[in-house]
Amino acid sequence: MSYWKAAAGLAALAGFAPLAAQTPAPASPLFSGLVFGSYNYQLPTSTNQFPNQNNNAFVVDRAYLTFRTTAGEHVSVRVTTDVYQSTETAANAYTVRAKFAYLQYDGTRQASGAQLIGRIGILQNVVIDHFENFWPRYLSQSAVERAQFFASADVGVAALYALPNKNGEVYATIVNGPGYTARERDRFKDFAMRVSLTPLATRDVSPLWKNFTITGWAYRGATASAFVNGGAGQNGAIGDALARNRAGLFTGIRDQRLVVGAELAQRMEEGEVGDNTNASPRALSSLTARLVSGIFLIRPLAFQSADGKSPFGIVTRYDRVNPTATSSGFVQPTVSSDAYHTLIAGVFADISTQSQVTLDYQEQLTSHGTSLPPNPSKGYYLHFVVNF
């Protein structure tokens, strides 16, 4: 199939796929999975007791079951189920939902390695899947997801152009916005783009630097007004959108011996004050949050090994989040100095080529100011993960 025919197919899908989708579609149905969980012992962060005194638990955090098959020339389908722990108010302990469910079109790969690929359905959001090439999800969500910037997946279309000669990729999405755990709530859509460059991939440098990556990304979203339908006594319906924007920079290296990464990100959201009445007119407010994160994973013995491998390693991560860095439009201004942090530190061991255990300590606590972080916590964990 020619390049132009491939491009026409992509246009029909109105999008492209993340770089991982470049693997040729399987000739027959394939099944794989990922399961991870932990034993955790929680420590008190206040004088309040734990709910039901439940500070000591075995938990299966996720079970992802993936099914892939072809659906004609250049076309394939992927469905990934998400088995997760329900809330205490739910009737059952674990629930199954769709994490990914999409149609994929693989464009013709050029001799230089450039390729166009398309997806439509429930698919990866703009950047979290990329971050998980550097950070193990089974220990914690990536920093932007944990700080509630956006969900890891959403419903829409995606587009990717893999740059020639392994120099990186450009990835874009148009999605509903609420994330894969909620249905669409309004008429607005969210647009995002990520540019990831790997300038040393084909250079004559140490293998440690081959995967050196520089990533910039931006997310422009919108949500409906709380007064979109108006109401009795109000000054009419409000059809304007409220901005929901994010942006960030990331740089890192990824090798079997060492992974290092640093991230800066910002989230801005508009809100509303007032009741949309003559006595209390509607007005806009805005709130900006900022995030700084660093990750470090090392297998010290791998540097002394002839094959560059070792089953043992050390992992650390530190996030600092200022949820009210700037604000406007509030009757009582927010405190711009308030901040909280997330700390993860531990040691890990491979128990096979496809499974790993980690003994780690984690905390999410106030760093500065008086405001508590969402879900303040600290505790000890024995995490496990297995791929099959």
Residues in the chain: 388
pLDDT in tens, the chain (388 residues): 443 343 344 333 333 333 333 344 445 679 999 999 999 999 998 888 888 788 999 999 999 999 999 999 999 999 999 999 887 677 788 999 999 999 999 999 999 999 999 999 999 999 999 999 999 999 999 999 999 999 999 999 999 999 999 999 999 999 999 999 999 999 999 999 999 999 999 999 998 999 999 999 999 999 999 999 999 999 999 999 999 999 999 999 999 999 999 999 999 999 999 999 999 999 999 999 999 999 999 999 999 998 989 999 999 999 999 998 998 988 776 777 789 999 999 999 999 999 999 999 999 999 887 777 888 999 999 999 999 9
Residue 157, token pair as written in the block: 């279309």
| Res 337: pLDDT | 78
| Res 114: pLDDT | 96
For the chain, the maximum distance between any two Cα atoms, rounded to a whole number of angstroms, is: 76
- H-helix or E-strand containing 4? helix 3-13
What is the torsional sign of CA 358, 258, 64, 142? Answer: positive
| Res 19: pLDDT | 37
Domain with residue 347: its CATH number is 2.40.160.10
Tell me the whole-structure pTM to 2 decimals: 0.88
Distance CA 246, CA 260 (A): 23
Distance CA 302, CA 305 (A): 5
Range of the domain at 118: 3-387
How many structural domains comprise the chain? 1
At residue 388's C-alpha, the angle toward residues 103 and 26, to 5°, is 35
Residue corresponding to tokens 């508590």: 372
| Res 90: pLDDT | 73
> Does residue 214 sit in helix, strand or coil?
strand
Adjacent-strand bridge partners of 219: 192, 246
Least Cα distance to 5 among 108, 98, 150 occurs for 108
Residue 45, token pair as written in the block: 């962060």
Distance CA 238, CA 228 (A): 5
Distance CA 219, CA 130 (A): 15
DSSP state of 374: S
Least Cα distance to 252 among 267, 265, 263 occurs for 263
Distance CA 384, CA 60 (A): 9
Residue 173, token pair as written in the block: 């999405």
Alpha helices in 224-291 (DSSP H): none
Displacement of CA 90 from its chain's centroid (Å):
25
| Res 50: pLDDT | 84
Residue corresponding to tokens 């025919």: 5
Residue corresponding to tokens 């700037």: 326
